[in-house]
Structure 1
């Protein structure tokens, strides 16, 4: 049966409670921290050697599609009614709007140390201690809007700028490309405009969302659910275009062994980007 991912602002009171309780149960079981560890392990960039599967690479979108699916499956093992909602940051743009409410993700961090003090994921509740991190901070942090150097969230125009590009990705298949839907959505930009779409959202939220341990903030899943929705929209708009590259770079290429082609396994799973392109038999977006 195909299930539905909803806009977080459309969740009923019961759906909000069930989503939060399922996340907290995964945390109590120790399962949630496994997702944090996996994301940290695959947080590699252009300057790193070896394969890039999750970031600054064509497989950014399918990698995170599978990652969200795995979290969703874990949530449904707790409560089979739960799905991962999405946060439309082009509409809900203030620091007090959904999802920053006390019955969902809680609010901004306090000025002194950016520690989140409200909502179910605040450290003071005793239910959300950060144990897997790139620092020794044990509490959830946020700096919504970036207080010292304010920035705005991406707009609908920013999304449309990416969605109208019919090509999925282009060589050299990394953070430097200026064409292609993937990097326009992932958001690596120029010196004059360094952060677009996905990357800009991470920086607007701030706190733990700034690095490889960003999964420690549950908003991570709402961000990537919305990103996945945009990939679905792009696929429908450009039906003749597919994930690229279709074939891996040859042995003589400097990109050999560094990116995942359409029919190659996407680590750490035994699944290819090609197999992740159509999710219509698993879920849809409302």
Structure 2
């Protein structure tokens, strides 16, 4: 039988002061105006709706012992696995038993009440790790055994024009620029207007050097705010990707309303888990590696995470990848072939890295709004150039 996440963490924690905050239950810290743009009062009140809180509480559980979920790179999913992933999200969006719908209700957690704890400090990694588990558990209410894939954005970085990647085709995340009118999330509405993107107009994707720099560091303070330099700061590098996608994804208050948010953060979590594995090889226990200097008080180890009973320090516990999920390794070139183990990726042997198949300049016909994405052959074309621009204010990274 599934166990409560909090109870299991309590039984595995070794910090003697951990019991100080055991009385904290499912209470979210007060809302605040994170930027000049914010949702209306009704949206804020929704986060305290008893139906929402009761449902959120039900998502805090552990699977039976030995049933680790496997999170794969998005292109490494089978067609059925990818369709199941898309379907689970669309079914959450259609479920209005929690107002306005379960997808939007969960998305609101990212900014209405917990953003001070989720950003700008070392709890950035742990908070989003817990958030992904809750979202994955919600998806599994709709489609059994579905998992969140991760998006290795260094694969798109290998293209001259990432907009042409099949990632932005109707088979995957849909439209790259303008309103999303193609793919499984076409014509979605959000509290911030129609779902849209503006890929490639500002900032950049991560590259292999970024990952090597992160992995060369030793402790979590070396890769997180407020201590890490920009070159190894995983939150700042993640911010650039948000802004690179544009529109909803470029702003903290709206990013989680784009399904691309979750596969992006799953990759950040993947990198963190790789970092933790490297720490163990160096003789460092990642479950005890939390910085002394944390910046905001909401990042103090014994502060409430704002997600159920969990404290900030719970986010670095090993229980998540010991009991809930693990990651399949990133795609690599398959020897003696031009593939990377997926029909949607190819190997660029000149650089020894995987790159996505690309679409031609003819806009593919939008998929129907109902039913799973239909399997089609990828589109091909020579790579084109990329334009630059400015996405405006209120973006990740404050500039």
**TM-score normalised by the chain length of structure 1:** 0.78
- Give the structure 2 partner of residue 33 of structure 1: 104
Give the SS at the match of 2:164: coil
- Give the structure 2 partner of residue 202 of structure 1: 242
CA distance in 2, matches of 1:180, 1:153: 14
- 1:143 counterpart = 2:198: yes
CA distance in 2, matches of 1:98, 1:87: 12
Give the SS at the match of 1:259: helix
- 1:122 counterpart = 2:186: yes
CA distance in 1, matches of 2:303, 2:119: 17
What is the correspondence of 1:209-228 to structure 2 with a 5 Å cutoff?
Answer: 209-211=249-251, 212-228=253-269
What is the correspondence of 1:1-286 to structure 2 with a 5 Å cutoff?
Answer: 1-29=67-95, 30-42=101-113, 44=115, 52-93=116-157, 94-109=162-177, 114-123=178-187, 128-130=188-190, 132-133=191-192, 137=193, 139-146=194-201, 150-169=202-221, 174-175=225-226, 177-179=227-229, 184-187=233-236, 197-211=237-251, 212-239=253-280, 240=284, 242=286, 243-245=289-291, 258-277=297-316, 278=318, 279-286=321-328
CA distance in 1, matches of 2:156, 2:72: 14
Shift of 1:92: 3.0
Maintained 8 Å contact 2:248/2:255 = yes
- Give the structure 2 partner of residue 252 of structure 1: none
Give the SS at the match of 2:90: helix
Maintained 8 Å contact 1:42/1:54 = no
Q: Could you tell me which runs of 5 or more consecutive residues in structure 1 were left unpaired when the two chains were aligned.
A: 45-51, 188-196, 250-254
- Once the two structures are overlaid, the 10-residue window that deviates more, 260-269 or 154-163, is 260-269
**TM-score normalised by the chain length of structure 2:** 0.57
Shift of 1:216: 1.2
CA distance in 2, matches of 1:57, 1:274: 13
Give the SS at the match of 2:70: strand
CA distance in 2, matches of 1:200, 1:98: 21
- Once the two structures are overlaid, the 10-residue window that deviates more, 260-269 or 83-92, is 260-269
Per-residue deviation, residues 1-24 of structure 1 (Å, max 9, x unmatched):
111000101111111111111100
Structure 2 vs 1, CA of residues 43 and 204 (structure 1 numbering), >3 Å: closer, same or farther? farther
Structure whose alpha-carbon radius of gyration is higher: 2
